[in-house]
């Protein structure tokens, strides 16, 4: 079409969309600028420029482009939703929620917007609010896997394990290969003390992705709950072969070593873990960055797997 009509705006925009799909973002932007030079008020060109800038992590520029587009069509729900996504990326969560709510006023049944609001609240650990939006999304679109997984994740975070189990089971009925649903269902089964079921789910994922660190750690914990401490340690060792400083793998390996009454290995692992944690904290403090600290010492002190070692001098020394 462009050969016969090189100034056709629709064709140029479609070409830009194809380039963006191929990851050729700069070329896509260049095509959109051709349209915008001719017509600065072309909504489609502005909208696609904004989404492309968002994909390039150029959030401030994307926000400006969405604002320009919304001046032309203030009730465009897609533009409002995507503008809110940019605000989330910029850490402006209250502004994002306000913008999502504007989109909901236009289309109260928009499942994507409902889920996105819930995700913002979940990210702020406001899971009860998040659950309300995820339930609305799930009710609007029955058996939507994303809504079910989001809802299950929030139930999991507030330790409503049976409700989480129900959500993830329903999700894998819709899509048996959905990674998040299968993985989170395995974690939920571990929390429900159903490690044999959890093991089946983790093994299913590992058939496709045998070196997945998170899955190996959780499979190891399933084996730990089953009393198969040697098998659990093998899982953690696979993780540590990939990343010798993976702190969760070290922690869980120490738990299994303690259950095996291997005091020397347990103490060595705890010493390494606490040293790594201290170094990690120091690095972040030095950079003046906010971060969530694992506080492994507190976890170790509360963990019943280490009860038999709490009077052991070597164990006490490793925790000091």
Amino acid 46: pLDDT: 94
Sorting pLDDT into bands at 50, 70 and 90, what band is 278?
confident
Contact by Cβ (8 Å): 227, 256: no
In this predicted structure, the answer to whether residue 86 has a pLDDT above a threshold of 90 is yes
CA distance 119 to 10: 34
CB 228 within 8 A of CB 199: no
Cα(133)–Cα(22) distance, integer angstroms: 34
Report which of residues 281 and 149 the model is more confident about: 149
Q: pTM higher than 0.75 for the full model?
A: yes
Is residue 289's pLDDT more than 80?
Answer: no
Residue-level pLDDT at 165: 98
pLDDT of residue 291: 37
pLDDT confidence of residue 2: 44
Summarised one tens digit per residue, pLDDT across range 127-162 is 999 999 999 999 999 889 999 999 999 999 999 999
**Tokens matching residue 32:** 């959109």
Paired tokens of 26: 């700069």
Dist. CA 145–CA 165, nearest whole Å: 14
* pLDDT tens-digit series, residues 195-219: 999 999 999 999 999 999 999 999 9
């Amino acid at each position: 079409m462009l050969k016969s009509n090189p100034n056709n705006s629709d064709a140029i925009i479609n070409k830009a969309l194809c380039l963006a799909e191929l990851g050729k973002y700069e070329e896509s932007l260049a095509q959109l600028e051709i349209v915008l030079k001719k017509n600065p008020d072309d909504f489609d060109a502005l909208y696609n420029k904004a989404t492309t800038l968002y994909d390039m992590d150029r959030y401030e520029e994307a926000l400006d482009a969405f604002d320009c587009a919304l001046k032309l069509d203030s009730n465009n729900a897609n533009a409002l939703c995507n503008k809110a996504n940019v605000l989330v990326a910029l850490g402006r969560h209250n502004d994002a929620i306000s913008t999502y709510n504007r989109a909901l006023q236009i289309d109260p049944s928009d499942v994507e917007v409902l889920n996105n609001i819930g995700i913002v609240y979940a990210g702020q650990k406001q899971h009860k609010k998040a659950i309300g939006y995820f339930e609305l999304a799930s009710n609007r679109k029955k058996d939507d896997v994303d809504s079910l997984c989001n809802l299950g994740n929030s139930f999991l975070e507030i330790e409503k394990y049976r409700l989480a189990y129900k959500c993830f089971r329903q999700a894998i009925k819709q899509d048996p290969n959905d990674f998040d649903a299968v993985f989170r269902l395995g974690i939920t089964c571990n929390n429900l003390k159903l490690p044999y079921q959890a093991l089946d789910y983790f093994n299913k994922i590992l058939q496709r992705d045998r070196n997945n660190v998170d899955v190996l750690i959780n499979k190891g914990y399933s084996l730990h709950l089953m009393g198969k401490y040697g098998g659990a340690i093998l899982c953690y060792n696979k993780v540590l072969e990939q990343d010798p400083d993976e702190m969760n793998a070290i922690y869980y390996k120490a738990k299994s070593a303690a259950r095996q009454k291997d005091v020397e290995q347990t103490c060595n692992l705890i010493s390494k873990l606490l040293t790594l944690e201290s170094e990690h904290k120091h690095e972040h403090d030095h950079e003046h960055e906010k971060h969530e600290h694992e506080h492994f010492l507190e976890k170790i002190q509360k963990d019943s797997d280490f009860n038999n070692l709490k009077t052991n001098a070597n164990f006490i020394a490793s925790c000091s």
